[in-house]
Amino acid sequence: MITTSQPDKGGHFGPYGGRFVPEVLMAPLEELEKAYEVARQDPAFHKELADLMHNYAGRPTALWEAKRLSENLGGARIYIKREDLLHTGAHKINNCLGQILLARRMGKNRVIAETGAGQHGVATATVCALFGMDCTVYMGEEDMRRQRLNVFRMRLLGAKVVGVTNGSRTLKDAISEAMRDWVTNVENTHYLLGSALGSHPYPMMVRDFHSVIGKEARAQFLEREGKLPDTVFACVGGGSNAIGMFHEFIGDTGVELVGVEAGGRNLTLGEHAARFAGGSPGVLQGCYSYVLQNADGQIALTHSVSAGLDYAMIGPEHANLADEGRATYVNCSDASALAAAVTLSRTEGIIPALESSHAMAEAIRRAPAEKGKVFLVNLSGRGDKDIDIYRENLKDLDE
């Protein structure tokens, strides 16, 4: 039984999380923690956030029963939480709206963020445009090359995109560069971190802003089915959509929670991003959690067809849920995720993001053997951003 769905005072979920940062970063983290504590107890903050979520982002999102998909599989019935229908195309906007309100309360006029695939960068650029804030997004040069369209979207929204040329030139290096900017410019700058990762209070705060996903889904499910789902599926990179979905269900011990990591090409170190398949506890970018690393404690390179899952560490609350046995974590290969995207597109008319396809793939894999059960899958984003990758991998459709 889970005992620690809220972190302790130091931001620990069981042994994980905490604050592992150089002393210079402690002051900004403490400032943020205090500001968030005040905001979360202020009804005016929640009122404004709820208004933005509804009238700007498009909440509540639909809960869709995927009947054709379920019939084709001939087993469990599958419901889909449609976070893909949100403004900017993914759940990321939930957290960005919460944090931009917080940044404004803290008197910051500049926002920085990291991005991998560009979804969090686009969502950050969007809220900065909406609130008239200066916006700088750090992005690995390799990711900029792979995601040119999102780079252009961010620039169209008025953001400055800074290419990061250190290390592997991907998400991990973009986070480090954003942290370096933050520590240098903290007086006027808020770091809008995009996942349930990093140092306290980020994992808790980002989770809180996404917990609307699980709250809505649970109520919608009860209304439609008169009971709770048997199993809830979500993909896990850092883990923000998954923790937003899972958190509301943690106390419902009859509900199985399944997180799906990126199995990549195979489970050799460097070829995947499945932290529970080869990772071990360690410290990266301010947080203690499961991380993919080599025998010398150097952080490993990762691979996934889905850039949003391509990160070496999993969020600390997931690490604790895994240790306590409250949630299970499996992985899904690039190929299975691509196949699931085709299946969902053709049975339900929904083209999913590659990240979300990982969750879908696991539900599809299990459904045939679980007749009588009802599944809930978090469809965290839509597939528009991945069209080039789909085209590359489904060449026969692209004559």
Partner 1 sequence: MSNTRIGRRFAELRAKNEPALVAYITAGDPSLDDTVRLVAALERGGADVIELGVPFSDPIADGPVIMRGAERAIANGATLRGVLDCAAKIREHSEVPILLFSYLNPLMKYGFAKLAVDAKAAGVDGVLMTDASVEEAEPYVKTIREAGLDTVFLAAPTSTPERLALVGRYSSGFVYLVSRTGVTGEQQQLSAQALPLVTAMRAHTDLPLAVGFGIAKAADAEAVGRLADGVVVGSALVRVIEKYAGTPEMETKLEELTRELKTGALQGRAR
The residues that bridge with 64 in the sheet, in sequence order, are 80
Out of 160, 180, 224, 227, which residue is the one contacting partner 1 (CB under 8 A)? 180
User: Do 344 and 69 meet the contact criterion of CB atoms below 8 Å apart?
Assistant: yes
**Shortest distance, CB of residue 12 to partner 1, whole angstroms?**
9
| Residue 291 lies near partner 1 (rule: CB under 8 A) | yes
3-class SS of residue 330? strand
Position 94, amino acid? N
Interaction between residue 183 and partner 1 (CB under 8 A): yes
Among the listed residues 114, 177, 261, 317, the single catalytic one is 114
Count CA within 13 A, CB hemisphere, residue 1: 3
Q: Name which of 52 and 175 has its Cβ closer to partner 1.
A: 175
Candidate list 356, 357, 380, 385, residue with the active-site label: 380
**Cβ-based neighbours of 184, under 8 Å, separated by 6 or more:** none
Q: How far is the CB of 185 from partner 1 (least distance, A)?
A: 9
Among 171, 284, 314, 360, binds partner 1 (CB under 8 A): 284
Of the candidate residues 55, 226, 298, 325, the single one contacting partner 1 (CB under 8 A): 298
Binding residue (CB under 8 A) for partner 1 from 137, 235, 299, 359 = 299
Which x/- pattern, by CB under 8 A, does the window 152-171 give for partner 1?
Answer: --------------xx----
Task: Out of 81, 92, 172, 385, pick the active-site residue.
Answer: 92
Query: Minimum distance from CB of 214 to partner 1 (Å)?
Result: 30
Alpha helices in the chain (DSSP H): 26-40, 43-52, 67-73, 92-105, 119-131, 141-146, 148-156, 171-185, 202-225, 240-246, 316-323, 334-348, 354-366, 387-393
Nearest to 154 by CA among 114, 182, 183, 99: 114
* Residue 369 in the binding site for partner 1 (CB under 8 A): no
Region near partner 1 per CB under 8 A, out of 56-64, 128-136, 280-288, 329-337: 280-288
Question: Considering CB under 8 A, how many residues would be counted as binding partner 1?
Answer: 38
List the one residue from 5, 72, 176, 211 that touches partner 1 (CB under 8 A).
176
| Residue 380 annotated among the catalytic residues of the structure | yes
Of 363, 358, 354, 361, the closest CA to residue 388 belongs to 354
Tell me if residue 61 falls in helix, strand or coil: coil
Distance CA 273, CA 203 (A): 19
Question: CA distances (Å), 171 to each of 17, 22, 114, 218, 374, in order?
Answer: 20, 20, 7, 32, 35
114 carries an active-site annotation:
yes
Site for partner 1 in 10-69 (CB under 8 A): 10, 18-28, 30
Report, as residue numbers or ranges, the catalytic residues.
92, 114, 380
Residues that bind partner 1 (CB under 8 A): 10, 18-28, 30, 166-167, 172-173, 176, 179-180, 183-184, 186, 280-286, 288, 291, 293, 295-299
